[in-house]
Structures are given as C-alpha cells and as structure tokens.
Structure 1
Amino acid sequence: MEEKSVNKTNSNGYTFLFAIIMVLVVASILAFTATSLQPTQYENVRQEKMQSILNTIGVETDRAGAESLYNQYITETVALRADGSVDEGLDAFNVDLAKEIKRVDSEQIFPLYIANYEGEKYYIVPLRGNGLWNAIFGYISLQNDVNTIKGATFDHLGETPGLGAQITKAWFRESFAGKKIFNEAGMLEGVSVVKGGASTDHEVDAISGATITGDGVSDMISERLEHYLPYFEEQRDIKITE
C-alpha cells in the first residue's frame, strides 16, 4: 500500500494536476491584484493628464497637487463638434482622443480646455498623431489672441530613446513658446519641426536623427488645430474679463 501511494504522487497525472492548481491560484492572485489597483491607476492617469494640461500654461506641479491647481486655473471645458458647436451633454475631460481620431472627422468630438492664469486667458488643445513606431500625443496652449503659443507638452508610446523620445524634453517643448499658428494672411500654418535651424515664427529646430517623429509632431499640430477653426473664428477678438 505504501509503495502504491508513493507511485501515485510521483505520477504524471499528479504533476499535471498540481501545475493546474498552481496556475489557477497564481492567476486568481494576479487578477485580484490588477482589479484592486484599477482605481489607483485610473486616478494616476487623471492627475497626470491634469499635470500636462497645466504645464502648457506654465503651471508646474507634482501629480498629488495637480487636481487642486487644475480646478483653480481651468475655468471651462468644452466638447466641440466638427462645425464648432458645443455639445453641452459631454464632459470634455472624459473624451478619449485615441478613440475619437478613429472616427470620421464629422463624427468626432474635440475637447478644449480654457484657462485663466495670472490674468490671462488660454485655450488648450489636446493633440494626437503618429510618430515613427506608435502614437504621439500632448497638449498645446494658445494665448488669448488664439494665435500665439504659450506652451506645449508631448509624449509618446514607443519612440526611439535618445532620438524621437526627446519630444518629451524641456528644450524641445519650450521651443514652441511664442510661435504663431496663423500666417500673415490669416491662414492656419501650424508649427513645423525643421532641420537646419528655425527661421520663422512657424518653425522649431528638429531633433537630430528623428525626422519621422518630428514630421509627426508637425502634422499632428496642424491636423488637430484645423478642427478648432470654426470655434476659434468666433473667439479671436474676445478679451478676458476680470
């Protein structure tokens, strides 16, 4: 009887059963951990989004302090339709741009954030486009003339470290400050990332070795801003009221 018991525990069937049980236990633990962390992960994403929006107007904060400052300086969020009209039933902050850009233009929702900081009004536009390997995204803020860039933030999902990934660096982001999105004829020109040195109000210096990522940033800015033109046409002469 004792020999049979030993043989039973050393059998292939016993080994497989033990492995299955362990897999189920580990999978259950991982599933529980992932589920329990979801609220924290969601909150971190919210706060980081607020950080990025605030950074475009010069408000620096850590993640923990982002929501308080966001509520202080972001005075209005607007969900725009393609014709420039406002969809009052939508919360612009919760619009998922990654999903929206997969729709045809006429069906997209375009979020817009309006800030009042140090007595100035700013319009903050979310950006999303294509880099070399994956999506690039960020925010760009316009001064009250709806032409001069106050600031910009950029991020990516998979650009090359040391090359395209440098769109997140301060020197690159800060090069957009003061640039213009409209030319002298009043036409949208955006801001282009160019090799050989920026020479106009519509250009910034390229990142060496990251041409495709730079082109993606240029295209992303022009493509996204174009959708806001119907709304901006009504705002260009509005001044902030104290």
Structure 2
Amino acid sequence: MNTNSNVYTIVYASVMVIIVAFLLAFVSSALKATQDANVANDKRGQILAALNLRDVKNVEEIYHQTIIADPIINVKGEVVKEKGGFEVDSKLITAKNDQDKQLPLYVAKVNNDTIYVVPLYGRGLWGGIYGYLALKKDFRTVYGANYGHESETAGLGARIVEKEIQEQFINKIAFSDSTFAQVSLGMSKKVEHPESQVDAITGATLTSNGMDEMFKTSLAPYKNYFIANHK
C-alpha cells in the first residue's frame, strides 16, 4: 500500500483510534473496582466526619465499628428494608414523588450513645451541595455535620467544607418542636433564632440560601419516622 496515499492515512488513523479506544476501555474496566472502592470509602469518611470522627486512618474499619445499621425507610416512616441504605442511589433519595423516595438512615453508636445520620442534597450558587447531618436520639438536636459541594466559589460558598463552619451546627435544633412539623435548622444573614440558626457566610448569600433550603427538603421526608420513634 502506498504510504503516501489518502487511503493509507485513513486506514492507519482508524486502526490507531481502535487500538487506543480498546486500551482505554481495558484500563477503565481494570480500574473500576478500585475506583468504586475509593468512592465508597470517601462516602464512609463523610458519614464519619458528620459524627465528629474526622481524619481517621482506617476509614472502612472504623465505619463498620461505628455504624450498627443502615435501614431504608419511606416517607410514611416505615422501614422497607433493614439494611442496604449505604447503596441507595441519590436519585431515589431526592425523587420528586414521595412514593418513589428511598431514604437511607445510618444508625451509629458513639461513646455508648445512639446517633442517627441522614444524607443531605441541595443546590448552591453554581452546582450541587450535599452532606450528612447527625442527630441525637431525640431526632432534633444536631450532633455533628459534614458538607461538600461541586463548584461553589473558593473562599466564599466553598467554605461550607470548613470544619469551623460545620461545627457551628453542633447542638442546634433541627426541628421547631417535638411534632417535627417544621424544619428550623438553617443559615441566615440575620439570626433571629440562635438555637437553630447559624450566620450565613459573608459574600455567599446564594450558597447560604441553598444550605437553608437543603435542610428543609432533606430532613422533612424523615419526619414521620422521627415522630414514630421519638422518645
């Protein structure tokens, strides 16, 4: 074949594309198990951080020692599965229709106290915000929190990942009263209810508003479970 011909160029380029595509697919497949394990471990670390167990070395080991159950519940407050909450896809947690929602609940034992962790999902200024909120056994008092974001502004909205911000939520009241009728936890530029609100982040009004809304939309679906199990 004439190496200077257009046919040779097209055939050569096509073969190279196929080889590179095959190699990329092979590498992706070979690394998938490791990638999935890293994602799962990062999730475990976020849940532990909400329990004020930060920067632990053996994340998977500490997680399994700390989390004693991960049931899946529905908006009626019923336990639909005794375990498997860790594997629930975020799309099912945030489903628009209540009947489609699958709500994971992480039950932890920390210093002989039972703590409950719920996932949080919302929208900030530029993209998704998320996290985990740990509640004491009254289901109202915040034990700890951990937040993350996809693309908030560095030095402003992105500060929600800072330990200093997250620790301000400890001991705040998540629901206005024991009827769990209204989510009271939030961020505000003008704190009128210090028992349940923290100061909004200066210069990050939309991210702070997103956090405020995230608490409401993420905690409200759990209220029937909290009502039924409140002591």
Instruction: Give me the TM-score of the superposition, normalised by structure 1.
Output: 0.88
Structure 2 distance, partners of 1:205, 1:184, is 21
- Equivalent residue number for residue 191 of structure 1: 185
Cα offset for 1:18?
1.2
Check conservation: 2:175, 2:185, Cα contact below 8 A. no
Q: Could you tell which deviates more after superposition, 179-188 or 28-37?
A: 179-188
- Equivalent residue number for residue 36 of structure 2: 42
- Equivalent residue number for residue 131 of structure 1: 124
- Equivalent residue number for residue 217 of structure 1: 211
Q: Secondary structure at the match of 2:120?
A: strand
Change in Cα spacing, 1:56 to 1:157, as seen in structure 2 (3 Å) is: same
Alignment of 1:19-58 (within 5 A): 19-58=13-52
Q: How many residues align?
A: 230
Q: Could you tell which deviates more after superposition, 199-208 or 137-146?
A: 199-208
Cα offset for 1:197?
5.6
Structure 1 distance, partners of 2:142, 2:148, is 18
Check conservation: 1:58, 1:151, Cα contact below 8 A. yes
Q: Deviations over 1:90-128 (max 9, x none)?
A: 611110123431341222011101111111111101111
Check conservation: 1:198, 1:205, Cα contact below 8 A. no
Say which one has the larger Rg. Answer: 1
Cα offset for 1:162?
2.2
- Equivalent residue number for residue 60 of structure 2: 67
The yes-or-no answer on 1:92 pairing with 2:85 is: yes
Q: Deviations over 1:193-225 (max 9, x none)?
A: 112567511111111221111111111111111
Structure 2 distance, partners of 1:102, 1:184, is 26
- Equivalent residue number for residue 240 of structure 1: none
Structure 2 distance, partners of 1:98, 1:175, is 29
Structure 2 distance, partners of 1:185, 1:73, is 27
Check conservation: 2:183, 2:219, Cα contact below 8 A. no
Unaligned stretches of 5+ residues in structure 1: 238-242
Change in Cα spacing, 1:50 to 1:17, as seen in structure 2 (3 Å) is: same
The yes-or-no answer on 1:104 pairing with 2:116 is: no
Instruction: Give me the TM-score of the superposition, normalised by structure 2.
Output: 0.92
Check conservation: 1:135, 1:156, Cα contact below 8 A. yes
Unaligned stretches of 5+ residues in structure 2: none
Q: Could you tell which deviates more after superposition, 51-60 or 198-207?
A: 198-207
Check conservation: 1:198, 1:204, Cα contact below 8 A. no
Q: Could you tell which deviates more after superposition, 24-33 or 158-167?
A: 158-167
Alignment of 1:73-84 (within 5 A): 73-84=66-77
